[in-house]
Amino acid sequence: MDRASVYLVTGGCGFIGEKIVELLSQQDYIKEVRVFDSVVREEVEKFTTATTHVTVMKGDIQDYNLLLAAMRGVHVVIHTAAIVDYRNTVPFWEMRAVNVGGTENVLRACCVLNIPYVVYTSSIAAVGPNTSQEPMFRGNEDTKYSGEVELPYGKTKAMAEKLVFEANGKKLSNGGKLTTCIIRANAVYGEKATFLQELYLFAKARNGVLNYLEPENTERNYTYVGNVAWMHVLAARNLQLKPDLLAGQVYYSYDDTPRRKAFLIRHELLSSMDPSIRLGSHIPYWKMWLMIQLHRIIRVILYPFWKPQPFLNLPLLNTIVTTFSYETDKASRHFGYKPLCTWEESKHRTAQWLRAAAGNLEPPQFHEKKN
């Protein structure tokens, strides 16, 4: 095996992607990490070390020729680039073009350039909840769960997953074969998590009260961004070392963040940074449903004279109120994954970042290209 591998991270300037690049740059078996992203942040190049060079390249994942040029000489691809949009602020066709079409371009380029290893960053949203709001309670990668996915974003990730699964074992132009695996991220928190900024601003606007939508019997997993990124690094390495074991596999991301009511996790993260943030009350489903319908009516009547800020939609509301949790150690069994940071360390790092950012917080964007 090449002891000086070249890795490419698509979306390496995004939330999860940047953490992956940072950790890859610290591995002595990697000589170069290339970042391909439509939004370039030069500070990512500062991860360069004495043994690993980080190069940031600007480009759209939909531009096949530009992507092909960036991938020449690469040994491993970690594909995180995607439009992440839960509020339906991006047209479905556009999200599909990036999330599905972009994935198709990556896999096609791998076959042409004889790049044998791809780790794909997917999402729990690719599995469910479904449109019937059927719960999944502490399932795992083998749990059977069917039905049409509720969120449009999740639908595009499911389509992309299908491409990645089908590409596994595909013949390369040099006679070799493509080996792929998938990591499904869930609710990811940590430094630069825009949803935490948004929640903090909402709470401060309400005198420090953090209300919530989930019924108290719901359960959902949260994972620290550094641990999600570390799982990618280990999966990519072991895809090279143990391809027969990891080929065609899917792994849920996890760590020791308490698997419990999501609103309690959010409150603990925010109150660790600002003790004045206190937990409020549950907002009934019917009340939020009425607000969503009213917002839709107002938007239709006043458009195009007034374009209100993005608001909660029904698919997202249904997702929030549905239990969707899992319990697994598959990544540990297959490639020795152990979280880099404990829950306490993850909480502390997140609080430190929020505290530093609090002075110049602005309302965050509701969708991003990433991770």
Residue 279 is assigned to a structural domain of this protein: no
**3 state DSSP class of 318:** helix
Q: Dump pLDDT digits (tens) for 38-78.
A: 998 888 999 999 899 999 999 999 999 999 999 999 999 99
Residue 31 is assigned to a structural domain of this protein: yes
DSSP letter at 149 equals: B
Residue 350 is assigned to a structural domain of this protein: no
**First and final CA of the chain: distance in angstroms?**
28
- CB neighbour list of residue 334: distance below 8 Å, 6 or more residues apart: 238, 242, 245, 246, 249, 251
CB of 153 within 8 A of CB of 85?
A: yes
Residue 52 is assigned to a structural domain of this protein: yes
- Which residues of the chain are under the pLDDT cut of 50? 1, 362-371
Residue 133 is assigned to a structural domain of this protein: yes
Q: Which amino acid is at 229?
A: A
Q: Cα–Cα distance between 334 and 183 in angstroms, integer?
A: 13
What residue numbers bound the domain in which 101 lies?
A: 5-192+223-259+328-345+365-369
Cis peptide before 304 (omega within 30 of 0): yes
Q: How many domains in the chain? A: 1
Catalytic site positions: 153
Q: Give the β-pairing of 76-79 and 179-185.
A: unpaired
Buried b (16+ CB within 10 A) or exposed e, 5-43: bbbbbbbbbbbbbbbbbbbbbebeebbbbbbbbbeeeee
What predicted TM-score, i.e. pTM, was given to this entire model?
0.92
CB of 222 within 8 A of CB of 257?
A: yes
Q: Cα–Cα distance between 93 and 292 in angstroms, integer?
A: 23
Question: 322 is written with which tokens?
Answer: 């549905």
Residue 81 is assigned to a structural domain of this protein: yes
Residue 105 is assigned to a structural domain of this protein: yes
Q: Cα–Cα distance between 371 and 153 in angstroms, integer?
A: 13
> Given the structure tokens 């531009």, which residue do they identify?
63
Handedness of CA 120, 87, 253, 51 (dihedral sign): positive
For residue 76, list its beta bridge partners. 7, 117
CB of 107 within 8 A of CB of 164?
A: yes
For residue 210, list its beta bridge partners. 279
Return the pLDDT at 8: 98
Q: Cα–Cα distance between 213 and 208 in angstroms, integer?
A: 17
Q: What is the CATH number of the domain that holds 9?
A: 3.40.50.720
Return the pLDDT at 363: 41
Q: Cα–Cα distance between 337 and 1 in angstroms, integer?
A: 21
Return the pLDDT at 360: 57
Return the pLDDT at 364: 38
Q: Dump pLDDT digits (tens) for 321-358.
A: 999 999 999 999 999 999 999 999 999 999 999 988 87
- Whole-angstrom CA distances from 146 to 25, 234, 291, 319, 369 are 39, 29, 30, 15, 28
Return the pLDDT at 296: 84
Q: Dump pLDDT digits (tens) for 294-330.
A: 988 887 888 777 776 667 889 999 999 999 999 999 9
| Cα 273 from chain centre | 23
Residue 318 is assigned to a structural domain of this protein: no
Residues for the chain: how many in total? Answer: 371
| Cα 33 from chain centre | 20
